[in-house]
Amino acid sequence: MGVRKPEDTRSFALCAHGGAGKTSLAEAMLFDNGNITRMGSVQNGNTVSDFQSEEQKRNISISTSLLTLERKGKTFYVLDAPGYADFTGEMSAAIRVADTAVILVSAVGGIEVQTSRAWEYAAHHNAPVAFVVSKMDRENADFEKVLADIKSQFSQNALPVFLPVGAGDKFSGVVDVLKSDSPEAESAKEALIEAAVEMDDALMEKYLEGETIPQADIERTLKKLSPQKE
């Protein structure tokens, strides 16, 4: 297994209102990374995260599960925290020890009570936040509404890094905003570039002189963007 160096480790807590898809996302990560050869489901009670008999019986997460993924020379620790109010202390504890809080918001249900609570915990623990809009393949999925609500209720700094392609039964995946040349991603890309150059004088100078800003510089600078401060 080798020696894991601190600089090569990352940890993030998956948080959301119950039913938003945290455990399903964790299962998909394990499958995509090759840790498992077949994806389980919450409904069937055979996911890696929900391994306790009570969790499998109730089809919900009760305690935080720790998953480990090795990818591209890095070790990722994924904390799948419960989303139901009865176990909210588990969510707070997971965010407290993680590098980042990944908050899922259902494209159908939108922002709910535990979504706001996850944001509050992240603010309390001064944790960076990344939002994931889940269930884009469901009927009545509305990415734009969810994004607008996140901006109005939480932070104007919430900028899309990936955009969905289609919705509902026409959903076919996502595009990387910074790598895409599609007209649909152009305004989102410009917003990311503007956010990056506003935080870096050298990049601002290049931007004003009409130079192309390298993607690596944009990504590096955007990591400094605080979701908790406007």
For 57-92, the pLDDT digits (tens) are: 777 788 899 999 999 999 999 999 988 888 889 999
Decide if 35 contacts 75 (C-beta within 8 A): no
Mean pLDDT of the chain: 90
The CATH number linked to 150 is 3.40.50.300
What is the torsion angle, in degrees rounded to the nearest 10, for the CA atoms of residue 145, residue 12, residue 185 and residue 139?
-40
Q: What pLDDT digit, counting tens, does each position of 12-34 carry?
A: 999 999 889 998 999 999 999 99
Of residues 155 and 45, which shows the higher confidence score? 155
- DSSP character at residue 87: G
Whether the pTM exceeds 0.75: the reply is yes
Nearest alpha carbon to residue 23 among 52, 3, 48, 6: 48
* Other Cβ atoms within 10 Å of 174 Cβ, number: 16
Nearest alpha carbon to residue 17 among 95, 90, 78, 82: 82
Of residues 56 and 7, which shows the higher confidence score? 7
Residues 61 and 147 in one domain: yes
Question: Is residue 229 pLDDT above 50, yes or no?
Answer: no
Q: Does 230 reside within a domain?
A: no
Burial class (CB in 10 A: 0-12, 13-18, 19+), 126: exposed
Domain that holds residue 192: 179-224
Q: Does 166 reside within a domain?
A: yes
Question: Is residue 1 pLDDT above 80, yes or no?
Answer: no
Domain count, the chain: 2
